[in-house]
Amino acid sequence: MIVLGSTGSIGVNTLEIAKKFSIEIEVLVAGNNIELLNKQIKEHNPKVVVVAKEEDVYRVNHKSVFFGQDAILKAIEDSKSELVVNALVGFLGLRPTLTALTCNKRVALANKESLVACGAFIDTSNIQPIDSEHFGLWYLMQERPVERMIITASGGAFRDWDIKRLQNATLADTQKHPNWSMGQKITIDSATMVNKMFELLEARWLFGEGKYDAIIETKSLIHALIDFKDGSTTAHFANASMQLPIAFAIDKTMQENILSHVDLLKVGSLEFREITTDRYPVWEIKEELLKNPARGVVVNAANEAAIEKFIAREIGFMDIAKTIVKAYEKFDTLPKSVDDVFALDKEVREFVFNSF
């Protein structure tokens, strides 16, 4: 297989599953964590390695090291692997997804932005989602009429904060996730609830038209629920680990034990909360966005640009959502092609950088 984003949490878990099932790693793609990458190279012996920056090439202990996005695309095109695990973060992950699908490879997709920005132009038949929420929905699907699909959110770093404090939240504050440690951007997205809105959009492209919603489940043990039209509801419980969806991406008939079971007696109780617009203002565009999912490219571009400005201390935390909503209101045209997606992405970013 090919692993894009090998040094992130999903990449690390993917390599653990690869080791468990003796799967050969043909290509490793990583960002800036060269120390961990070198350990992965030593253990998995890939044929090709790609890093983000040219200046890091000499630090990598491998004879075939390349850098940049063009090198990622070429590695995919030249590979013999049938499976590409895309765990890259951000819009950067879109072209690798498109390239892999063009090469008739299966894509185990953790890069949310691929479907959020370009879902209208992606054939999902060769995509296996490895977000726990979409995996949970897939796992629960039956041949019964569905009323509503529901995914869960942790609530992010500020779920228990007094709302009046949010305007002064710092970058360091956003990184204090209540349940686990993730990368910087996705932890910010969790705090704003953008991450969950993206996952709803992904679900819409993966499973088709229908009713989709999200709720907060504070212990992150339920990942998805389905309301069936007969009045019954099923829920997918699992301890939080990406290894379960990754294992099923490798083999949909997975029979091996991957995780320990959730012990409900030890859990004791669960808590559910509504996602409200006072704490998560971006939620106000959720319903309209789900009705017009091709506009996800606008939301994604505005979010990535706003996060850059937040990290640079040019805007406050609550301004991220305000920026997204303003961009969404301004750009109401629907892209008609993949080229339109990339052009609109650029236009929205320029608007955000120049207007706020």
pLDDT value at residue 184: 87
Domain map (residue ranges) of the chain? 2-129
Cα–Cα distances (Å) from 300 to 116, 154, 342, in that order, read 7, 21, 12
Structure tokens at 280: 């998560």
Per mean pLDDT, which of 9-13, 114-118, 175-179 is the most reliable? 114-118
Domain 2-129: CATH architecture, name and number where available: 3-Layer(aba) Sandwich (3.40)
Distance, in Å, from the CA atom of 270 to the CA atom of 288, rounded to the nearest integer, reads: 30
The answer to whether the CB of 330 falls within 8 A of the CB of 290 is no
3-state secondary structure of 87: coil
Q: pLDDT tens for residues 183-240?
A: 789 899 999 999 999 999 999 999 999 999 999 999 999 999 999 999 999 999 999 8
E strand map for 171-253: 212-217, 222-228, 233-237
pTM for the model: 0.93
The maximal CA–CA distance of the chain, rounded, in angstroms, is 61
pLDDT of residue 277: 97
* Residue range 115-142: mean pLDDT, rounded: 94
Q: Give me the helices (H) in 125-230, please.
A: 132-140, 171-174, 184-192, 194-207
Question: What are the tens digits of pLDDT across the range 261-286?
Answer: 999 999 999 999 999 999 999 999 99
**pLDDT > 90: percent of the chain:** 90
* Predicted pLDDT of residue 351: 97
pLDDT of residue 255: 85
What tokens appear for 133 in the block? 């929420």
**pLDDT score for 105:** 97
pLDDT given at position 253: 84
Q: pLDDT at residue 180 above 70? A: no
Exposure pattern of 220-245 as b/e (b: 16+ CB <10 Å)? bbbbbbbbeeeeeeebbebeebbbbb
Indicate the SS3 state at residue 345: helix
- What's residue 341's pLDDT? 97
Instruction: Report helix angle 296-311 to 194-207, nearest 10.
Output: 160
Question: In this predicted model, what pLDDT tens digit does every residue of 89-103 receive, in sequence order?
Answer: 999 999 999 999 999
CA-angle at 314, arms to 313 and 318, nearest 5°: 85
pLDDT, position 241: 84
pLDDT at 356: 66
**pLDDT confidence tier of residue 137, bands split at 50, 70 and 90:** very high
- The pair of three-digit structure tokens given for residue 180, joined into one six-digit string: 């686990």
Give the whole-angstrom CA distance, residue 18 versus residue 29: 15
At 177, the pLDDT band (50, 70, 90 cuts) reads: confident
- Find the radius of gyration of the CA atoms of the chain: 20
Q: Give the dihedral of Cα atoms 163, 165, 166, 168; nearest 10 deg.
A: 160
Q: What is the mean pLDDT of the chain?
A: 94
Q: Is the pLDDT of residue 73 over 90?
A: yes
**Hunting for tokens 């640079």 — which residue is that?**
312
Which of helix, strand or coil describes residue 177?
coil
